[in-house]
Amino acid sequence: MKRHEALNWASSFLTEIGREPQAGELLLRHALGDLSRTEMLLGLNEELPPQQQEVFMEAVQKHGEGVPVQYITGFEEFYGRRFFVNKEVLIPRPETEELVYEVLQRSSMRFQDAQEMKTIDVGTGSGAIAVTLALENPRLTVSAVDIAEESLEVARKNAADLGAPVRFIHGDLLQPLIETGEKVDIVVSNPPYIPDREIMELETIVKDQEPFRALSGGQDGYVFYRRFMEELPLVLNKRSIAAFEVGHDQGQTVAEMLRITFPGSFVSVIMDISQKERMVIAEIGF
């Protein structure tokens, strides 16, 4: 079997069972030793060695059964970097890159003269947000917390692989900081925000594969945001930023929560590239 024949087979197979045919290309590149797209295309007429053919066909079958491509290849791209992922963490999404961008822009404007901006990423999962912030702006002193030690193992690996100076903390939301009396300038989080009733309506490739704890926002989707409103005042400095990713219909509600919690703050709801409400950011203490 030549490479182009393998791709054609994968495309037909995945299309027939309702999966994205483009996944075949990603899986072939992985089977070939993580070749670039250009390298793969230049060799489309090359024979696929039996061992690589077997690896490729098994990977396509797995994806057909509902395993995300990223859990098969073991990585996802985020903000131009490759992050290791497995079933213990949510797969980083492009929308979350926009949250990172907004935090970088606003922190640079708001703390122009600061030598250090103490930052915490809550519910870090793969560590994508924390690691990216630390690498993109060395003035950000970044910590990351997660309730699952299994997720922290993944995040620590990504920080080590990418050379990011991030401190990792095992704990529940902002409780570790509250217990020690630590204050920060920036809190950023992409918390679980999907209402439990909607999780069962998600594609099987999400609901049956990605960790439930990273998806479930409780009965109405706001359980973690309500907890944040109780905990944020205990950890944020007087002049600070709180930045959240939200569900497409949750922006105004979370924004109002922040306005009530921090009267006089400047709260903005920001659309993502698909023109859906995706980020809510509060700039506190003018």
Name the more confident of 82 and 199: 82
Q: Is 42 in a helix, a strand, or coil?
A: helix
Residue 208 reports pLDDT greater than 70 = no
Q: What is the pLDDT of residue 222?
A: 93
Instruction: Give residue limits of the domains in the chain.
Output: 3-65, 89-284
Known binder of ligand: residue 190?
Answer: yes
Known binder of ligand: residue 163?
Answer: no
Q: What is the pLDDT of residues 104-127, one digit of tens each?
A: 999 999 999 899 999 999 999 999
Residues 251, 280: Cα–Cα separation, whole Å: 6
Q: What is the pLDDT of residues 164-206, one digit of tens each?
A: 999 999 999 999 999 999 999 999 999 988 888 787 777 777 7
CB distance 133 to 119 below 8 Å:
yes
Provide mean pLDDT across the span 157-163. 98
Q: What is the pLDDT of residue 217?
A: 80
Provide mean pLDDT across the span 45-60. 94
Longest dimension (CA), the chain: 66
Known binder of ligand: residue 237?
Answer: no
Known binder of ligand: residue 126?
Answer: yes
Q: What is the pLDDT of residue 219?
A: 83
Known binder of ligand: residue 123?
Answer: yes
Residue 266 reports pLDDT greater than 70 = yes
Known binder of ligand: residue 240?
Answer: no
**What CATH number should be reported for the domain whose range is 89-284?**
3.40.50.150
Known binder of ligand: residue 127?
Answer: yes
CB distance 146 to 170 below 8 Å:
yes
Task: State the average pLDDT for the chain.
Answer: 93
